[in-house]
Amino acid sequence: GESVGLHLPTLSVQEGDNSIINCAYSNSASDYFIWYKQESGKGPQFIIDIRSNMDKRQGQRVTVLLNKTVKHLSLQIAATQPGDSAVYFCAEREIQGAQKLVFGQGTRLTINP
Partner 1 sequence: KAGVTQTPRYLIKTRGQQVTLSCSPISGHRSVSWYQQTPGQGLQFLFEYFSETQRNKGNFPGRFSGRQFSNSRSEMNVSTLELGDSALYLCASKLAGAYNEQFFGPGTRLTVL
Least distance CB 18 / partner 1 (angstroms): 25
Q: In this structure, is the dihedral angle defined by the CA atoms of residues 1, 9, 84 and 31, taken in order, positive or negative?
A: negative
Q: How many CB atoms lie within 10 A of CB 106?
A: 21
Would you count residue 51 as binding partner 1 (CB under 8 A)? yes
18: which DSSP letter?
Answer: -
User: Do strands 107-112 and 10-14 pair parallel, antiparallel, or not at all (unpaired)?
Assistant: parallel
Plot region of 106 (φ>0 → left; ψ -120 to 50 → alpha; else → beta): left
Would you count residue 106 as binding partner 1 (CB under 8 A)? yes
List 62, 65, 95, 110, residue binding partner 1 (CB under 8 A):
95
List 40, 45, 67, 112, residue binding partner 1 (CB under 8 A):
45
Nearest CB to partner 1, comparing residues 63 and 105: 105
Given the rule CB under 8 A, which residues bind partner 1?
Answer: 1-6, 32, 34, 36, 41-46, 49, 51, 89, 91, 95-106
